[in-house]
């Protein structure tokens, strides 16, 4: 039986950086050279793999929808020649890219795993070796046909993951959905489903273009002027990070601003600012008032999933009502509806 082939796209990030007098810096070819010096990657149990380093590499803080498109196109161009894909990425915006790719890659039937590290691969005690080894092994032997994020022995659904620790190895969490898989002493499939067959329908790529989207976190005493300014042109959507299960002040002037903006076609999504949980605008009068003003529920979506899903839908030729409807539907496993 022939070994599986995995395509590795090194987009940038800590995992491939080299130490210098100025600190850690990206150096072309350094990641590939580092991997070649590590025999663990070339054991007989491991798949064959090819590393493609982006030039220039992208600092994840500089990531844009154009970069999402470039990564998605890279996967599409190599889709027929490989059994799975690993994307090496900086951790700061890794969950945004994972969410975006989950919407952009339509009819995905092969695993796409995004990973990286908190310490460069070439350094002592790097988490990069375990993360990359596992990502390659899982892509070949546990083919879960969706965009996933692997970190610290857990494989998360990409559009359910969020960065939870700025400096720890357990950098990512999936607060509202169980891991797809856990790679401990034994590899345990949890919420993931293995895909053993591939049908004839090709992978298609949904175009995503940059969209003017506002995000506001509510706080006690927030000014209505702040909200008004975040709903003015050219803004096409507003994400409100509300209190608790979706509550907000009931000030009439605030509700009127939201109602007027919604009537103009603005998509206003209510997401909880809590780390875990789900918006329920029926639960309290304060949440119900938002619903009456045209605000829709973000259910239990992460901010990353909400933002990238809005990019995906706003890039399509859909009217506001159709976008509102699809925002509240489960398209890629990103939300738990009522």
Instruction: List the catalytic residues.
Output: 14, 91
CA pseudo-torsion sign 149, 154, 156, 160: negative
Put residue 209 in one of left, alpha, beta given phi > 0 → left and psi -120 to 50 → alpha: beta
Three-class secondary structure of residue 304 per DSSP: helix
What is the residue-wise DSSP string for 75-126?
Answer: HHHTGGG-SEEEEE--STTHHHHHHHHHHHEET--S-EEEE--SS-TTSTT-
Put residue 180 in one of left, alpha, beta given phi > 0 → left and psi -120 to 50 → alpha: alpha
In the chain, beta strands by DSSP E = 5-10, 17-20, 23-26, 48-53, 84-88, 105-106, 112-115, 147-151, 154-157, 162-163, 172-173, 181-183, 187-189, 204-205, 213-217, 237-242, 267-272, 296-297
8 Å CB contact between 77 and 52 = no
* Other Cβ atoms closer than 10 A to 333: 17
Q: What are phi and psi of 55, to 5 degrees?
A: -130, 115
Helix, strand, coil % (nearest 5) of the chain? 30, 20, 45
Q: What are phi and psi of 79, to 5 degrees?
A: -60, -40
Q: Which of 173, 157, 177, 156 is nearest to 103 (CA)?
A: 157
Report the distance separating Cα 294 and Cα 163, nearest Å.
Answer: 30
């Amino acid at each position: 039986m022939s070994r599986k082939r995995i395509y590795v796209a090194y987009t940038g990030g800590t995992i491939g950086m080299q130490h210098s007098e100025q600190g850690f810096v990206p150096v072309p070819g350094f990641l590939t050279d580092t991997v070649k010096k590590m025999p663990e990657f070339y054991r007989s149990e491991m798949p064959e793999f090819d590393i493609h380093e982006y030039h220039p590499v992208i600092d994840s803080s500089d990531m844009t929808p154009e970069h999402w498109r470039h990564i998605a196109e890279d996967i599409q161009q190599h889709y027929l020649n490989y059994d799975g894909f690993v994307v090496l990425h900086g951790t700061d915006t890794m969950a945004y890219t994972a969410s975006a790719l989950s919407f952009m890659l339509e009819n995905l039937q092969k695993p796409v795993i995004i990973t990286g590290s908190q310490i460069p691969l070439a350094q002592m005690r790097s988490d990069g070796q375990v993360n990359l080894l596992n990502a390659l092994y899982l892509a070949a032997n546990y083919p879960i046909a969706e965009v996933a994020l692997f970190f610290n022995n857990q494989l998360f659904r990409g559009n359910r993951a969020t960065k939870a620790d700025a400096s720890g190895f357990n950098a990512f969490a999936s607060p509202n959905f169980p891991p797809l898989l856990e790679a401990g002493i034994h590899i345990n499939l949890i919420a993931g489903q293995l895909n053993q067959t591939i049908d004839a329908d090709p992978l298609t790529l949904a175009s995503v273009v940059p969209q003017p989207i506002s995000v506001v976190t509510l706080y006690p005493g927030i000014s209505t002027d702040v909200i008004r300014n975040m709903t003015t042109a050219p803004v096409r959507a507003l994400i409100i990070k509300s209190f608790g299960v979706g509550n907000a002040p009931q000030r009439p002037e605030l509700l009127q601003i939201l109602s007027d903006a919604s009537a103009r076609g603005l998509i206003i999504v209510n997401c909880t600012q809590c780390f875990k949980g789900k918006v329920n605008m029926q639960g309290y009068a304060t949440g119900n008032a938002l619903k009456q003003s045209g605000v829709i529920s973000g259910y239990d979506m992460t901010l990353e999933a909400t933002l990238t899903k809005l990019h995906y839908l706003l890039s399509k030729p859909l009217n506001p009502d159709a976008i509102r409807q699809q925002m509240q539907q489960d398209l890629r496993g990103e939300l738990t509806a009522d």
